[in-house]
């Protein structure tokens, strides 16, 4: 006869993140973010003012402008496209690195992780300035491309979507590597070994065992990567050359100053709300797809 858990006690197999205690503890954090997001949503529904942030005149004009004005919806679409593309490239680059660190680095594992983490010690702006030098005409990247025969002559990557894509991948790579290191570490080696002993080739072992078990790390890293890059400001500002505009950069330009004389805070707020909704939809969609029967997320 099995014991019946006492009323109010938490099931022993239930993760803490799914318990009522965790939900209760999360309320202050949720309330903190809800205040600022709610304030953005409120501002976006009013008209700009010359002498204040906004006037108390309700309007949907800001959202209409976001989806009908070419400069705004083009920047949004470019942000979504480059963010999604950078997420894919980041996963493809970070996965082999994380797998090597966890499986083959040996005693150097701690040193490799320290090198990845040390990237956060340098100011982000300085790192992107360094990429500005590398991506210039006749820079290191340009010379490498010519050496490999990928370009016929000097090529300036500053002011191109390719240059911005390189910056976005670089910016999010450390987050993805650290997320995947945690995921790969949780994969039992004996499970991989059992699959190999049963006659499965290495590629099949990876596809049917390792990849599904590390999918939570991929999803977590992808969520961070997309959310960071879809609202990127520094990368398009420094690597866009003033010709490539993304949503984050456009929000800064629209909100400079106060009112219609120098800025439009309600319009900037509307752009921000749209970006938040896009990020939320991407997150929900990604989790839903990879929590299916084939890619069920580990608890």
Q: Checking phi first, is residue 81 left (phi over 0); if not, alpha (psi -120 to 50) or beta?
A: alpha
Q: Is there a domain that residue 180 lies in?
A: yes
Average pLDDT for residues 77-84, to the nearest whole number? 95
Instruction: With H, G, I as helix, E, B as strand and everything else as coil, classify residue 47.
Output: strand
pLDDT tens, residue by residue, 35-48: 888 888 998 999 88
Helix count (H) and strand count (E) of the chain?
14, 2
pLDDT tens, residue by residue, 89-138: 999 999 999 999 998 888 899 999 999 999 999 889 999 999 999 998 88
Can you give the pLDDT at residue 298?
A: 43
Can you give the pLDDT at residue 262?
A: 57
Q: Is there a domain that residue 43 lies in?
A: no
Q: How many domains does the chain have?
A: 1
Q: Is there a domain that residue 146 lies in?
A: yes
Range(s) of the domain holding residue 162? 54-290
pLDDT tens, residue by residue, 203-262: 988 988 899 899 999 999 999 999 999 999 999 999 998 888 899 999 988 887 544 445
The DSSP line for 57-74 is EE-SHHHHHHHHSHHHHH
The label of the residue with tokens 């490239």 reads 89
Q: Taking all residues of the chain, what is their mean pLDDT, rounded to a whole number? A: 85
Can you give the pLDDT at residue 117?
A: 92
Q: What is the pTM of this model?
A: 0.84
Question: What is the CATH classification number for the domain harbouring 185?
Answer: 1.10.3720.10
pLDDT tens, residue by residue, 145-155: 888 888 887 88
**Beta bridge mates, 58:** 46
Quote the distance between the C-alpha of residue 36 and its chain's center. Answer: 21
pLDDT > 90: what percent of the chain?
46
């Amino acid at each position: 006869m099995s014991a019946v858990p006492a009323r109010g006690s938490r099931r022993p197999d239930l993760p803490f993140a799914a318990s009522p205690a965790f939900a209760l503890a999360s309320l202050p954090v949720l309330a903190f973010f809800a205040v600022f997001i709610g304030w953005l949503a409120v501002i976006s529904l009013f008209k700009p003012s010359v002498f204040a942030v906004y006037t108390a005149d309700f309007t949907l004009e800001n959202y209409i402008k976001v989806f009908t004005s070419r400069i705004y919806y083009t920047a949004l679409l470019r942000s979504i496209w480059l963010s999604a593309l950078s997420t894919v490239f980041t996963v493809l680059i970070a996965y082999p690195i994380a797998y090597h660190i966890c499986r083959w680095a040996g005693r150097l594992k701690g040193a490799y992780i320290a090198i990845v983490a040390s990237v956060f010690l340098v100011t982000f702006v300085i790192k992107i300035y360094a990429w500005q030098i590398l991506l210039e005409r006749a820079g290191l990247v340009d010379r490498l491309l010519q050496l490999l025969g990928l370009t016929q002559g000097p090529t300036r990557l500053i002011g191109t979507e390719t240059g911005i894509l390189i910056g976005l991948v670089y910016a999010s790579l450390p987050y993805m590597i650290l997320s995947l290191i945690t995921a790969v570490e949780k994969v039992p080696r004996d499970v991989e070994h059992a699959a190999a002993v049963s006659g499965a080739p290495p590629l099949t072992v990876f596809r049917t065992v390792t990849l599904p078990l590390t999918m939570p790390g991929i999803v977590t890293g992808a969520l961070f990567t997309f959310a960071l890059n879809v609202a990127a400001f520094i990368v398009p500002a420094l690597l866009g050359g003033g010709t490539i505009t993304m949503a984050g950069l456009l929000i800064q330009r629209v909100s400079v100053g106060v009112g219609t004389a120098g800025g439009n805070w309600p319009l900037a707020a509307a752009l921000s709300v749209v970006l938040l909704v896009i990020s939320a939809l991407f997150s929900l969609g990604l989790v839903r797809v990879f929590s299916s029967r084939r890619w069920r997320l580990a608890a």
